[in-house]
Chains A and B, each alone.
Chain A
Amino acid sequence: MTEATTVPPATPPGALRDAFRNLAAEAFARAAETMAFVTAVPLDEPGDAPPDALRVSVRFGGPVAGKLELAAPEAFGAMLAANLLGPDGPPVADAAVDTLKELANVTCGVLLPELARRGPIGVGRFEMGVPCAGALGGGSAWSDFTAGGTVLDADGFKVAVRVSGAL
Protein backbone atom coordinates (compact mmCIF):
# COMPACT_ATOMS: atom_id res chain seq x y z
CA MET A 1 0.00 0.00 0.00
CA THR A 2 1.32 3.44 -0.90
CA GLU A 3 2.16 5.87 1.86
CA ALA A 4 -0.26 8.66 2.57
CA THR A 5 0.15 11.25 -0.14
CA THR A 6 0.11 15.00 0.40
CA VAL A 7 0.74 17.33 -2.50
CA PRO A 8 2.36 20.70 -1.77
CA PRO A 9 1.33 23.77 -3.76
CA ALA A 10 3.13 24.75 -6.95
CA THR A 11 3.64 21.13 -7.88
CA PRO A 12 4.73 20.23 -11.42
CA PRO A 13 1.89 18.71 -13.49
CA GLY A 14 3.52 15.26 -13.70
CA ALA A 15 3.87 15.05 -9.93
CA LEU A 16 0.26 16.18 -9.60
CA ARG A 17 -0.95 13.36 -11.82
CA ASP A 18 1.12 10.85 -9.87
CA ALA A 19 -0.29 12.13 -6.59
CA PHE A 20 -3.86 11.82 -7.85
CA ARG A 21 -3.08 8.35 -9.19
CA ASN A 22 -1.81 7.29 -5.77
CA LEU A 23 -4.83 8.79 -4.04
CA ALA A 24 -7.15 6.89 -6.39
CA ALA A 25 -5.36 3.61 -5.65
CA GLU A 26 -5.54 4.27 -1.91
CA ALA A 27 -9.24 5.09 -2.16
CA PHE A 28 -9.94 1.89 -4.08
CA ALA A 29 -8.03 -0.25 -1.58
CA ARG A 30 -9.88 1.33 1.34
CA ALA A 31 -13.27 0.93 -0.33
CA ALA A 32 -12.63 -2.70 -1.29
CA GLU A 33 -11.39 -3.59 2.18
CA THR A 34 -14.24 -1.98 4.10
CA MET A 35 -17.01 -2.81 1.67
CA ALA A 36 -16.15 -6.40 0.77
CA PHE A 37 -13.17 -7.51 2.87
CA VAL A 38 -10.89 -7.58 -0.17
CA THR A 39 -7.21 -6.68 0.10
CA ALA A 40 -5.78 -4.76 -2.88
CA VAL A 41 -2.05 -4.37 -3.43
CA PRO A 42 -0.46 -2.36 -6.28
CA LEU A 43 1.35 -4.36 -8.95
CA ASP A 44 4.59 -3.23 -10.57
CA GLU A 45 3.50 -4.16 -14.09
CA PRO A 46 0.02 -4.14 -15.67
CA GLY A 47 0.56 -7.40 -17.57
CA ASP A 48 -2.08 -8.75 -19.89
CA ALA A 49 -5.69 -7.69 -19.72
CA PRO A 50 -7.91 -9.81 -17.48
CA PRO A 51 -10.63 -11.77 -19.31
CA ASP A 52 -14.09 -10.22 -19.73
CA ALA A 53 -12.89 -6.90 -18.36
CA LEU A 54 -15.47 -4.21 -17.66
CA ARG A 55 -14.94 -0.47 -17.41
CA VAL A 56 -16.92 1.35 -14.72
CA SER A 57 -16.84 5.12 -14.44
CA VAL A 58 -18.17 7.76 -12.08
CA ARG A 59 -18.06 11.40 -13.15
CA PHE A 60 -17.52 14.14 -10.62
CA GLY A 61 -17.57 17.91 -10.66
CA GLY A 62 -16.64 20.71 -8.30
CA PRO A 63 -13.20 22.27 -7.69
CA VAL A 64 -11.98 19.91 -10.40
CA ALA A 65 -14.01 17.80 -12.79
CA GLY A 66 -13.16 14.34 -13.97
CA LYS A 67 -13.90 10.66 -13.83
CA LEU A 68 -12.95 7.87 -11.49
CA GLU A 69 -12.67 4.66 -13.49
CA LEU A 70 -12.18 1.01 -12.69
CA ALA A 71 -11.26 -1.74 -15.14
CA ALA A 72 -11.91 -5.16 -13.69
CA PRO A 73 -13.03 -8.63 -14.77
CA GLU A 74 -16.68 -9.43 -14.28
CA ALA A 75 -15.57 -12.41 -12.17
CA PHE A 76 -14.14 -9.96 -9.65
CA GLY A 77 -17.55 -8.34 -9.35
CA ALA A 78 -19.11 -11.77 -8.87
CA MET A 79 -16.69 -12.53 -6.05
CA LEU A 80 -17.43 -9.17 -4.39
CA ALA A 81 -21.16 -9.79 -4.66
CA ALA A 82 -20.75 -13.21 -3.07
CA ASN A 83 -18.77 -11.64 -0.22
CA LEU A 84 -21.46 -9.03 0.33
CA LEU A 85 -24.52 -11.21 -0.02
CA GLY A 86 -23.15 -14.22 1.85
CA PRO A 87 -23.85 -17.89 1.11
CA ASP A 88 -27.52 -17.58 2.03
CA GLY A 89 -28.08 -14.24 0.41
CA PRO A 90 -30.91 -13.58 -2.03
CA PRO A 91 -30.30 -13.93 -5.77
CA VAL A 92 -29.66 -10.54 -7.34
CA ALA A 93 -29.87 -9.99 -11.07
CA ASP A 94 -26.63 -8.71 -12.64
CA ALA A 95 -25.02 -8.81 -9.20
CA ALA A 96 -21.46 -8.72 -10.57
CA VAL A 97 -21.92 -5.52 -12.59
CA ASP A 98 -24.10 -4.00 -9.86
CA THR A 99 -21.36 -4.57 -7.29
CA LEU A 100 -18.59 -3.18 -9.49
CA LYS A 101 -20.64 -0.03 -10.03
CA GLU A 102 -21.21 0.29 -6.30
CA LEU A 103 -17.50 -0.23 -5.64
CA ALA A 104 -16.68 2.55 -8.10
CA ASN A 105 -19.30 4.73 -6.41
CA VAL A 106 -17.82 4.09 -2.96
CA THR A 107 -14.25 4.56 -4.22
CA CYS A 108 -15.14 7.94 -5.70
CA GLY A 109 -16.80 8.96 -2.46
CA VAL A 110 -13.64 8.05 -0.56
CA LEU A 111 -11.38 9.76 -3.11
CA LEU A 112 -13.01 13.18 -3.42
CA PRO A 113 -12.58 14.37 0.18
CA GLU A 114 -8.96 13.19 -0.03
CA LEU A 115 -8.43 15.19 -3.23
CA ALA A 116 -9.72 18.23 -1.39
CA ARG A 117 -7.76 17.54 1.76
CA ARG A 118 -4.42 16.40 0.43
CA GLY A 119 -4.33 17.81 -3.10
CA PRO A 120 -3.65 21.43 -4.08
CA ILE A 121 -7.14 22.13 -5.34
CA GLY A 122 -8.58 23.99 -2.40
CA VAL A 123 -11.83 23.66 -0.56
CA GLY A 124 -14.99 23.19 -2.55
CA ARG A 125 -18.11 21.18 -2.99
CA PHE A 126 -17.79 18.06 -5.07
CA GLU A 127 -20.71 16.39 -6.78
CA MET A 128 -20.81 12.82 -8.02
CA GLY A 129 -22.69 11.25 -10.87
CA VAL A 130 -24.23 7.82 -11.18
CA PRO A 131 -21.84 4.94 -12.07
CA CYS A 132 -21.86 3.62 -15.65
CA ALA A 133 -20.52 0.24 -16.78
CA GLY A 134 -19.63 -1.33 -20.10
CA ALA A 135 -17.11 -3.61 -21.73
CA LEU A 136 -13.54 -2.36 -21.59
CA GLY A 137 -12.89 -3.56 -25.12
CA GLY A 138 -10.05 -5.48 -26.66
CA GLY A 139 -6.92 -4.50 -28.50
CA SER A 140 -4.95 -1.84 -26.71
CA ALA A 141 -7.80 -0.86 -24.37
CA TRP A 142 -6.17 -2.39 -21.29
CA SER A 143 -2.73 -0.95 -21.93
CA ASP A 144 -4.25 2.45 -22.75
CA PHE A 145 -6.28 2.36 -19.55
CA THR A 146 -3.44 1.27 -17.30
CA ALA A 147 -0.97 3.76 -18.77
CA GLY A 148 -2.70 6.47 -16.73
CA GLY A 149 -3.64 4.42 -13.71
CA THR A 150 -2.62 1.88 -11.11
CA VAL A 151 -3.05 -1.86 -11.45
CA LEU A 152 -3.73 -3.75 -8.24
CA ASP A 153 -4.03 -7.37 -7.24
CA ALA A 154 -7.35 -7.63 -5.45
CA ASP A 155 -7.57 -11.08 -3.89
CA GLY A 156 -6.10 -12.63 -7.02
CA PHE A 157 -7.95 -10.46 -9.54
CA LYS A 158 -6.26 -7.77 -11.59
CA VAL A 159 -8.05 -4.40 -11.21
CA ALA A 160 -6.98 -1.06 -12.66
CA VAL A 161 -7.96 2.30 -11.18
CA ARG A 162 -7.48 5.73 -12.65
CA VAL A 163 -8.64 9.31 -12.33
CA SER A 164 -8.93 11.33 -15.51
CA GLY A 165 -10.17 14.77 -16.46
CA ALA A 166 -9.17 18.35 -15.72
CA LEU A 167 -6.53 17.38 -13.19
Chain B
Amino acid sequence: MTGTPTKPLNVLIVDDSAVTRAVIRRAVKLCGLPVDECYEACNGRAALDAMASLRVDLVLADLNMPEMDGFEMIRRIGDDPRLAGTPVVVISSEPNAAAFAAGRRGVRGCLPKPFTPESVRDVLVAATGVARD
Protein backbone atom coordinates (compact mmCIF):
# COMPACT_ATOMS: atom_id res chain seq x y z
CA MET B 1 0.00 0.00 0.00
CA THR B 2 2.96 2.36 -0.41
CA GLY B 3 4.06 4.70 -3.17
CA THR B 4 1.47 4.33 -5.91
CA PRO B 5 -1.96 5.99 -5.76
CA THR B 6 -4.54 3.84 -4.02
CA LYS B 7 -8.30 3.68 -3.90
CA PRO B 8 -9.93 5.36 -0.91
CA LEU B 9 -10.11 3.22 2.20
CA ASN B 10 -13.22 1.80 3.80
CA VAL B 11 -12.70 1.90 7.55
CA LEU B 12 -14.62 -0.06 10.19
CA ILE B 13 -14.67 1.39 13.71
CA VAL B 14 -15.47 -1.14 16.43
CA ASP B 15 -16.20 0.14 19.94
CA ASP B 16 -19.10 -0.33 22.36
CA SER B 17 -19.11 3.42 23.10
CA ALA B 18 -21.07 5.34 20.48
CA VAL B 19 -19.44 8.60 21.56
CA THR B 20 -15.98 7.08 21.15
CA ARG B 21 -16.90 5.78 17.69
CA ALA B 22 -18.00 9.32 16.75
CA VAL B 23 -14.73 10.79 18.06
CA ILE B 24 -12.66 8.24 16.15
CA ARG B 25 -14.74 8.78 13.02
CA ARG B 26 -14.06 12.50 13.14
CA ALA B 27 -10.33 11.89 13.68
CA VAL B 28 -10.26 9.49 10.73
CA LYS B 29 -12.02 12.00 8.48
CA LEU B 30 -9.59 14.74 9.49
CA CYS B 31 -6.38 12.72 9.36
CA GLY B 32 -5.70 13.38 5.68
CA LEU B 33 -5.89 9.78 4.53
CA PRO B 34 -8.05 8.95 1.50
CA VAL B 35 -11.13 7.54 3.24
CA ASP B 36 -14.34 6.60 1.44
CA GLU B 37 -16.70 4.91 3.88
CA CYS B 38 -16.52 4.86 7.68
CA TYR B 39 -18.57 1.97 9.05
CA GLU B 40 -19.30 1.38 12.73
CA ALA B 41 -19.95 -1.66 14.89
CA CYS B 42 -20.67 -1.85 18.61
CA ASN B 43 -18.94 -5.17 19.32
CA GLY B 44 -16.89 -7.88 17.69
CA ARG B 45 -19.83 -9.93 16.49
CA ALA B 46 -21.43 -6.94 14.76
CA ALA B 47 -18.07 -6.16 13.18
CA LEU B 48 -17.68 -9.67 11.75
CA ASP B 49 -21.24 -9.53 10.44
CA ALA B 50 -20.42 -6.24 8.70
CA MET B 51 -17.19 -7.61 7.23
CA ALA B 52 -19.12 -10.54 5.73
CA SER B 53 -20.89 -8.21 3.31
CA LEU B 54 -18.86 -4.98 3.14
CA ARG B 55 -15.43 -4.23 1.72
CA VAL B 56 -13.36 -3.18 4.73
CA ASP B 57 -9.78 -2.06 4.24
CA LEU B 58 -8.91 -1.21 7.82
CA VAL B 59 -10.40 -2.09 11.22
CA LEU B 60 -10.01 0.16 14.26
CA ALA B 61 -10.86 -2.01 17.23
CA ASP B 62 -11.47 -1.63 20.93
CA LEU B 63 -10.76 -4.74 23.01
CA ASN B 64 -13.16 -4.68 25.97
CA MET B 65 -16.63 -5.00 24.50
CA PRO B 66 -19.74 -7.01 25.41
CA GLU B 67 -21.02 -10.02 23.46
CA MET B 68 -17.73 -10.52 21.57
CA ASP B 69 -14.62 -8.67 22.66
CA GLY B 70 -11.87 -7.37 20.42
CA PHE B 71 -9.48 -10.17 21.37
CA GLU B 72 -11.85 -12.80 19.98
CA MET B 73 -12.83 -10.70 16.98
CA ILE B 74 -9.19 -10.21 15.95
CA ARG B 75 -8.49 -13.93 16.34
CA ARG B 76 -11.43 -14.75 14.08
CA ILE B 77 -10.34 -12.19 11.47
CA GLY B 78 -6.93 -13.86 11.41
CA ASP B 79 -8.40 -17.34 11.13
CA ASP B 80 -10.77 -16.47 8.25
CA PRO B 81 -9.04 -16.75 4.86
CA ARG B 82 -11.39 -14.13 3.44
CA LEU B 83 -10.55 -11.58 6.17
CA ALA B 84 -7.02 -12.46 7.27
CA GLY B 85 -5.41 -9.79 5.09
CA THR B 86 -7.43 -6.95 6.65
CA PRO B 87 -5.17 -4.77 8.77
CA VAL B 88 -6.30 -3.99 12.30
CA VAL B 89 -5.32 -1.16 14.62
CA VAL B 90 -6.18 -1.61 18.28
CA ILE B 91 -7.52 1.47 20.11
CA SER B 92 -8.03 0.49 23.72
CA SER B 93 -7.56 1.33 27.40
CA GLU B 94 -6.84 -2.33 28.15
CA PRO B 95 -3.44 -2.51 29.96
CA ASN B 96 -2.37 -5.54 27.90
CA ALA B 97 -3.33 -4.06 24.55
CA ALA B 98 0.20 -3.33 23.35
CA ALA B 99 1.45 -6.81 24.27
CA PHE B 100 -1.52 -8.42 22.55
CA ALA B 101 -1.08 -6.28 19.44
CA ALA B 102 2.66 -6.94 19.21
CA GLY B 103 2.17 -10.67 19.02
CA ARG B 104 -0.83 -10.78 16.72
CA ARG B 105 -0.60 -11.30 12.98
CA GLY B 106 -2.56 -8.67 11.09
CA VAL B 107 -2.47 -6.07 13.88
CA ARG B 108 -0.59 -3.11 12.47
CA GLY B 109 -0.62 -0.82 15.47
CA CYS B 110 -1.93 -0.07 18.93
CA LEU B 111 -3.17 3.25 20.26
CA PRO B 112 -3.87 3.55 23.98
CA LYS B 113 -6.85 5.48 25.31
CA PRO B 114 -7.05 8.36 26.05
CA PHE B 115 -5.88 9.37 22.58
CA THR B 116 -5.55 12.62 20.68
CA PRO B 117 -6.70 13.17 17.09
CA GLU B 118 -3.05 13.58 16.11
CA SER B 119 -2.17 10.19 17.53
CA VAL B 120 -5.01 8.60 15.55
CA ARG B 121 -3.60 10.16 12.42
CA ASP B 122 -0.06 8.99 13.16
CA VAL B 123 -1.04 5.38 13.87
CA LEU B 124 -3.23 5.21 10.76
CA VAL B 125 -0.49 6.54 8.52
CA ALA B 126 1.97 4.06 10.01
CA ALA B 127 -0.48 1.17 9.75
CA THR B 128 -1.59 1.75 6.19
CA GLY B 129 1.52 3.23 4.64
CA VAL B 130 -0.86 5.42 2.65
CA ALA B 131 0.21 8.96 1.90
CA ARG B 132 -2.02 11.73 3.24
CA ASP B 133 -4.13 13.82 0.82
Contacts and interface: CB of A to CB of B under 8 A. Distances in A.
Interface of A: 31, 34-35, 81, 84-86, 89-90, 92-95, 98-99, 101-102, 105-106, 108-110, 112-113, 116, 125-130
A26 to B, nearest CB: 14
B17 A98 contact: yes
Interface centre among A94, A98, A99, A105 (most CB of B within 10 A): A105
Contacts, number: 66
Name B's interface SS.
loop
Given A86-B26, A102-B20, A113-B95, 13 more contacts: A34-B116, A35-B114, A84-B22, A89-B22, A89-B26, A92-B22, A93-B18, A95-B18, A95-B19, A105-B93, A106-B114, A129-B64, A130-B66
Interface string B6-36: 0000000000111110110010000000000
30 contacts: A31-B114, A34-B114, A35-B114, A81-B19, A84-B22, A84-B23, A85-B23, A89-B26, A92-B19, A92-B22, A94-B18, A98-B18, A99-B17, A99-B19, A101-B17, A105-B17, A105-B113, A106-B113, A106-B114, A108-B93, A113-B95, A126-B96, A127-B94, A127-B96, A128-B93, A128-B94, A130-B16, A130-B64, A130-B65, A130-B66
